[in-house]
Amino acid sequence: MAKDYSQFSKEELLKMVEKMESRKKYGLIWDEEKVKEQFEKDAENALPVLKEISTKEITDKDSSKPVNILIEGDNYHALSVLNFTHQGKIDVIYIDPPYNTGNKSWKYNNDYVEKDDAFRHSKWISFMSKRLKLAKTLLKEEGSLICAIDDNEQAQLGLLLAEIFPAHEVHCIVIIHNPGGVQGKNFSYSHEYAYFVIPSRKEPVISLQNREDNPDIRPLRDVSTGNHLREDAANCFYPIYVKNEKIVGFGNVCPNTFHPKSANVMHRDGTLEIYPIDAQGNERKWVFARQTVESIKDELTIEYNRQRKIWDVIRKKTQFNYKTVWDDKRFNANIFGTKLLSQIVKIKFPFPKSLYAVEECIRAIIHDKDAIVLDFFAGSGTTAHAILELNKKDNGDRRFILCTNNENKICEEVCYPRVRNVIRGYKNLVSGKKIAGLGGSLKYFKTKFVKKNANGDDFKIRITHECTEMLCLREGVFDEVKKTDHYRIFQQGDKTLAVYYSLDRKSLPALKKELEKMDGEKILYCFTLDATGLSKTEFANWHGVTLEPIPQKILDVYKQIYEY
């Protein structure tokens, strides 16, 4: 696959030299092929839009709930559309890309990438780089990305993420997804990885792990190995006040000359002082210093030690920093991925993630109950399932956007049926038991293309007539309430979206009257050939309506992506 540089033009050679000179001395360098990817061929002289498949829509009884999205098509085209509809709006991206195992698990330019392909890694990095760069622009400033991977590309992915997200922290954790292991040449592999790409800031980004079902319960008195005596940390020796078997406060650090007679000192008013003194009478120390102990007061209780016949202070800790190795049994991809999926849909899907591993990844990074989560390698739809489970557990309003192609009918026969069944409820295909639905709504879109032609004005007219679903998605407004030859009106809650498609402005007064009847936020996308925007005189008396020109807003986004 050696390149014949004699075939390149002077301009192409200069570009290559500039690119090489701009590379860092330390980082990831790969050989980018001159052959176009299939998505590039599909989009030659054309731009992507969305078309809704209304027969696949799922509605929730509660119309106030957010609308989830499934986009069928190449994820590069889907990401291009989302760069218009959701730029800077995504809270979390979770992806599980192809692992490039060389075992006919991933295609590049319609051909499987074999293990002995000399450009195997370059193809994968090029494939991922293009999509990650588009995805980055979708994240909020405080947004994060999670990427699952295995040993085949783990090292390369780490360097690529560091290059694309230089202002972020990049952390790699290990997930034990196959405790039995898969035999390799030298080792039996029982794990894979998840990269967390998070904003770099002073306060923590990763949430604390909740372990209500597996708390850490132990005395507050330091009972670890070693001496850990009072003199080792003087500010950890102080009384804890108890009344009616409840902790009511904390005393000051005791002077070095003060020595309590025992671990428990009872006062006439019924107040009990507890000190960290062991069974041998040694003055030890509390695990927490006086200046920090009040931060864990809600985790403390007292317990009567029958052997010593004294009261001890016990800490029940349920919130923990996540460790870098996750080995919970629920992360077993065979049981909670493959077998779980076989209970929901009939079609088999190779190597689905454990539902609970994905749920835990997202839980660790999401702080808002109304967050938007994007997965542009949606596969079997595990991310959607995880979001719906999280919403059920804490009554959240998180919503998902899934993107997947339909190779081997994965979108039609695996991803969509799974999401539909989990929302509506289903009959377990193995046990026959009825499983209640988690609720939710879904809009199903497909990518299609608007061909460009020599007449630029004609193309602008055609893309304006084809962009309605994109505008609805951008504004989160889907329910059509009015349709005429020149305009359409949509509403969702207290928000109204109007789209005016014609250069003929004779219907504008009628549209103005319609919008004046409506309360709440109102936005009008109006067709114009003038890239500078809309005539102020035409809309001089339009009060309370935000104006946006189309299709120029869309074309401006696509110009940066497709360089047309």
pLDDT tens, position by position, 426-436: 999 999 999 99
pLDDT on residue 103: 75
The tokens describing 182, both together, are 């898969």
Selection from 284, 280, 283, 260 nearest residue 272 by Cα? 260
The pLDDT of residue 1: 43
* Rounded Cα distance, 226 and 237, in Å: 17
Q: For residue 370, how many other CB atoms are within 10 A of its CB? A: 12
163-188: b or e for each residue (b if 16 or more CB lie within 10 Å)? ebbeebebebbebbbbeeeeeeeeee
Q: Which residues of the chain have a pLDDT value below 70? A: 1-4, 20-26, 31-36, 109-110, 223-227, 454, 564
DSSP secondary structure string for all residues of 493-530: TTEEEEEE--S-GGGHHHHHHHHHT--SEEEEEEE-S-
What fold is seen in the domain 452-562? Trna Endonuclease; Chain: A, domain 1 (3.40.1350)
DSSP string, 258-327: ---SSSEEE-TTS-EEE--B-TT--B--BSS-HHHHGGGGGGEEEEEETTTTEEEEEEEE-EEPPPSEE-
Helix 416-424 vs helix 382-394: crossing angle, to nearest 10: 20
Q: What's this model's pTM, rounded to 2 decimal places?
A: 0.88
Per-residue pLDDT at 377 = 97
pLDDT, tens digit, 9 for 90 and up, residues 541-553: 899 999 999 999 9
CATH class of the 41-209+323-445 domain in this structure: alpha beta
Contact 229, 284 (CB under 8 A): yes
Domain boundaries, the chain: 41-209+323-445, 216-317, 452-562
User: Which helix (H) or strand (E) covers residue 488, if one does?
Assistant: strand 487-492
